[in-house]
Amino acid sequence: MPTGPRPLDRRRLLIGAGAVAGVALAGATVSRVAGVRTPTPPIALPAPASPAPPLPAAADLKIDGLAPFRTPNGEFYRIDTAFVVPRVDPATWTLRVHGLVEREVTLSLDDLLGEDLVEAWVTLCCVSNNVGGDLVGNALWLGLPVREVLARAGVAPGADMVLSRSVDGFTASTPLEVLTDERDALLAVAMNGEPLPPEHGYPVRLVVPGLYGYVSATKWVSELKVTRFADDVAYWSTRGWSEKAPVKIASRIDVPRPGRAPRAGEVMVAGVAWAQHTGIGKVEVRIDDGDWQPAELADLVSVDTWRQWFYRWDAPAGDHAIEVRATGLDGIVQTSQRRPPAPDGATGLHRVEVRVEG
Ligand SMILES: Nc1nc2c(c(=O)[nH]1)N[C@H]1C(S)=C(S)[C@@H](COP(=O)(O)O)O[C@H]1N2
Ligand SMILES: [Mo]
């Protein structure tokens, strides 16, 4: 994680913060260890005015070792710069919408809970996820579309970005168009039917389909400033990460795990693929750099969620490499070119090496 020069008196804190963020962004293990679960203060969640459609039966293939379609809250990856999870009092929480607006708007939690809330499945992922990594999860979110709040404030001409700010000072810059188009960009109050866990932004966070978390998914959100990319810059954009970061199409092999030794014969190869706000149209697998073979897909739930896939492999004994690639519903094939996560998301194909026992 690149860091710039710091004033001396704040050095310890900032280097500490930078180091923790760097480690957390680089690996899921640390984020899990840091993910201390704390009790959630009660919020009476309203029923969604616009519920998500029921899940098709074949959305979750329930294959042993494959990530479930819905990531349970307690297993959802956690990435943030917070040493201590911010404690936000729901009774005094407000969201202030200001900047290039016709009128400032301030919402309380009661105001927000009294609105027509929308439920949507959205897969969230971190820009620092490595190829094959697990900084990605899928949940059912409940919230107020951000465009409703922006419409009430009245966006002034010239604005092209919303800088969202957390109670802990973290900021994210999100293109205005992404928050005002038809997609389910939400001020979310619930995750998988429960109030947000403290680690995931209680009482309110942003969830925006199609963008990496650091440019969209502000937890403990308290402020939306309507502004311009030319005038404001977000937390990670001053630290070596791009100002704009749409999610890149990706696919992952969950089973077989590397180093496991399946028996020769039919071996179940399975995983997930995601291309939020485009949708996954096809997944292919190849063995030992052979021809690409089509994998079977779970039902498409929405273009904003990941999609499970599987491939029945007639595995001969010996050492083998399995690779996966996905194609979006837009027809664009995942690139094999390997790039690191910085500055705007990793690319390359996930490859798993296994020894098949004779
Ligand atoms: N307040 C705050 N919000 C934040 C962050 C943060 O550091 N602070 N990190 C962002 C990043 S980098 C990601 S990937 C997502 C992760 O959300 P999760 O921890 O709920 O999975 O939150 C985003 N929102
Ligand atoms: Mo992230």
Which residue's CA is the nearest one to ligand 1's atom 12?
214
Q: Are 158 and 104 in contact (CB under 8 A)?
A: no
pLDDT digits (tens, 9 = 90+) for 167-217: 999 999 999 999 999 999 999 999 999 999 999 999 999 999 999 999 999
Residue 4 lies in a domain: no
pLDDT, residue 43, reads 84
> Looking at the domain assignment, is residue 140 inside a domain?
yes
Q: What is the pLDDT of residue 16?
A: 26
Give tens-digit pLDDT for 226-254. 999 999 999 999 899 999 999 999 999 99
Residue type, 253: I
141 and 267 housed in the same domain: no
- pLDDT at residue 258 in the model: 81
Could you tell me the distance, in angstroms and rounded to a whole number, from the CA of residue 44 to the centre of ligand 2? Answer: 29
Backbone angles phi, psi at 214, to 5 degrees: -70, -15
Regarding whether 228 and 350 lie in a shared domain, the answer is: no
- d(Cα 138, Cα 164) in Å, to the nearest integer? 22
Q: What is the pLDDT of residue 147?
A: 98
**CA-236 nearest atom, ligand 1:** 12
Residue nearest to atom 4 of ligand 1 (CA): 218
In a domain, 15, yes or no: yes
Q: Is residue 5 part of a domain?
A: no
What is the Å distance from ligand 2's center to 173 Cα? Answer: 13
The pLDDT, as a whole number, for residue 206 is 98
* 66 and 197 assigned to the same domain: yes
Identify whether 287 is part of a domain.
yes
Long-range contacts: 102-105, Cβ < 8 Å, 24+? 102/153, 102/154, 102/155, 102/156, 103/153, 103/154, 104/153, 105/149, 105/152, 105/153
Cβ of 58: how many Cβ atoms within 10 Å?
A: 14
Q: How far, CA to CA in Å, does 69 sit from each of 66, 205, 275, 329?
A: 9, 22, 15, 19
Q: Report which of 219, 210, 196 is spatially closest to residue 303, judged by C-alpha positions.
A: 210
Q: Which residue has the tokens 């899921």?
A: 28
> Which whole-number Å values give the CA distances from 40 to 148, 170, 211, in the listed order?
27, 22, 27
Q: In what order do the strands lie in the sheet with 94-99?
A: 105-108, 94-99, 221-227, 161-166, 171-175
User: How many domains is the chain built from?
Assistant: 2
Mutate to test the pocket of ligand 1, among 219, 238, 239 (most ligand atoms within 8 A of CB): 219
Assigned domain for 245 exists: no
Q: Judge if 233 and 254 occupy the same domain.
A: no
Which residues in the chain land under pLDDT 50?
1-36
216 and 266 in one domain? no
Q: Are residues 215 and 288 in the same domain?
A: no
Q: Which residue, by CA, sits nearest to atom 9 of ligand 1? A: 80
Shared domain for 282 and 215, answered yes or no, is no
Q: Which domain holds residue 265?
A: 250-356
Instruction: Provide the CATH number for the domain around residue 274.
Output: 2.60.40.650
| Terminal Cα-to-Cα distance of the chain (whole angstroms) | 45
> Domain for residue 288, yes or no?
yes
Which ligand lies nearest to the CA atom of residue 234 in the structure?
Answer: 1
CA distances from 272 to 123, 142, 212, 264, 336 (A): 11, 23, 17, 24, 17
Q: Domain end: 238, 271, 302, which one?
A: 238
Q: What is the CATH number of the domain that holds 165?
A: 3.90.420.10
**Which ligand 1 atom minimizes the distance to the CA of 86?**
1
The C-alpha atoms of residue 25 and residue 31 are separated, in whole angstroms, by: 8
Is residue 319, in this structure, part of any structural domain at all? yes
Query: 203, 238, 273 — which closes off a domain?
Result: 238
Same domain, yes or no: 127 and 160:
yes
Domain boundary among 182, 204, 238: 238
Residues 225 and 261 in one domain: no
**Residues 306, 273: Cα–Cα separation, whole Å:** 5
Instruction: Ligand 1 pocket test: pick from 163, 214, 224 the residue with the most ligand atoms within 8 Å of its Cβ.
Output: 214
Ligand 1 site: residues with CB under 6 angstroms?
76-81, 124, 126, 166, 168, 170, 200, 213-214, 217-220
Of 31, 78, 80, 163, the one to substitute when testing ligand 1's pocket (max ligand atoms within 8 A of C-beta) is: 80
Q: Are residues 296 and 218 in the same domain?
A: no
> What pLDDT, on the 0 to 100 scale, is given for residue 261?
83
Residues 255, 190 within the same domain:
no
Give the number of the ligand closest to the Cα of residue 198. Answer: 1
Task: Give the amino acid at 333.
Answer: V
| Residue 301 and residue 291 in contact, taking contact as beta carbons nearer than 8 Å | no
Same domain, 281 and 202: no
